[in-house]
Amino acid sequence: MKKVIIIFVGVSVGIGALGWMGYTLAENKKVIDQRSKIVPASAVPVMVVSVGNAIFNEDLSVIGTIVANSEVKIVSETQGRATGVNFKLGDTKGKGVVLVQIDDELKRANLSVAKANLDKAKSDLDRYEELLKTKAATDAQVESYRYSFKSAESQYITARRQLNDTRITMPVAGTVTSKDIELGSMVQVGTVVANIVDVSRLKVKVNVAEADVIKIKEGQKVTVATDVYPGVQFKGTITTINVKGDEAHTYPVEIALDNSTKNPLRAGMFAHVHFDGLTSRSILNIPREALIGSVKDPQVYVIENNKAVLRSVVIGAETETALEVISGLKEGEQVVLSGHINLRDGVAVQVIK
């Protein structure tokens, strides 16, 4: 009997110990649950900005090419040997300056003969017109001499033109960009002797998309910049807007600008053309820093009941610092500006100033 009692007491004590441990664990769990309800998770500090309205001035920037105001191929209008070549590649010449002299010996002789014939025809006509006044000559005779005079005059004009053609001159002021003749070479009618460009005034040729071309007009002022002169701006004026677009639905536009002596531009350079203030409208906008991801899949964190709620938005126009919000946000809503790194959808936040 004594052995049985000892075993029973031992089992009873063991059961009691287990019961006490279970009771203690249960009480601890209640305390933990109560504390978890009382103490909230740590709020993530963030800076926010309110969605606001702003006046948006829509601008347009395109890349174009600078071309000379005029580019002329100078050709010979006579034939003969070049007895004088008065220019070299890169020379800048004024209008009317003689570039090439063609042998003019025969042309001068022809002009002298034509001048003599013209003088004789004029003298004969004058004499017979005086005789007609006294009836010493007939009307038919006077008409014949008048015809001879007109013919001689025409021959003289032709001979003078042919002599002038032996001097190949600058049709416009400009710079020689190609030289295609040497002293002593033979030239024919139509032979190209030089190419001239006038860069005192320039043109910028650009193509503008159909959605934007209706927003610009001839006479409008634009700003032109180049990579070769960083920070330097040139003022230009729209001179031509083509009424016909190309296959890409862009329209050729020409812009005139004066060349600069301090920062000279050259034909063939790239130019950045900026059209200011095409349209003006009021838009909802947010800073770029508020955007999560890219503008192709834009999202922002919106503050709702002290929590950061991830929301998709639709972005419209863009500037360097701000984005137009077409849909997804309302004016006055607060979006997270900084502190995104520790955020996820639904996380509690603390707005800091």
- pLDDT tens, residue by residue, 27-54: 544 544 444 443 345 899 999 999 999 8
Poorest-pLDDT segment among 11-20, 239-248, 285-294: 11-20
CATH topology of domain 45-60+282-351: 2.40.420
Domain with CATH 2.40.30.170 in the chain: 61-67+199-278
pLDDT of residue 327: 94
Domain with CATH 1.10.287.470 in the chain: 104-165
pLDDT of residue 317: 83
State residue 87 phi and psi, 5-degree precision: -155, 165
Q: What is the DSSP letter of 292?
A: B
pLDDT of residue 39: 35
Q: What CATH superfamily classification does 104-165 receive?
A: Helix hairpin bin (1.10.287.470)
Domain with CATH 2.40.420.20 in the chain: 45-60+282-351
Rg over alpha carbons for the chain, rounded to the nearest Å, is 46
Q: Can you say whether the dihedral through the CA atoms of 164, 169, 172, 177 is positive or negative?
A: positive
- Write out pLDDT tens, residues 216-261: 999 999 999 999 999 999 999 999 999 999 999 999 999 999 998 8
CATH topology of domain 61-67+199-278: Elongation Factor Tu (Ef-tu); domain 3 (2.40.30)
And the tokens for 226?
A: 């180049």
Poorest-pLDDT segment among 82-91, 203-212, 274-283, 297-306: 274-283
329 by Cβ neighbours in 10 Å (0-12 / 13-18 / 19+) ranks as buried
Place of tokens 């002293």: 183
pLDDT of residue 338: 93
pLDDT of residue 240: 96
- Write out pLDDT tens, residues 69-118: 888 999 999 999 999 999 999 999 999 999 999 999 999 999 999 999 99
Residues 223 and 276: beta-carbon distance below 8 Å = yes
- Write out pLDDT tens, residues 318-331: 888 899 999 999 99
Q: Can you say whether the dihedral through the CA atoms of 75, 81, 84, 85 is positive or negative?
A: positive
Q: How far is CA 268 from the centre of its chain?
A: 13
Average the pLDDT over 55-69 and give the result. Answer: 88
Helix (H/G/I), strand (E/B), else coil: 177: strand
pLDDT of residue 55: 83
Whether the full predicted model's pTM is greater than 0.75, yes or no, is no
In whole angstroms, what is the distance from residue 126 CA to residue 116 CA? Answer: 15
Residues 199 and 266: beta-carbon distance below 8 Å = yes
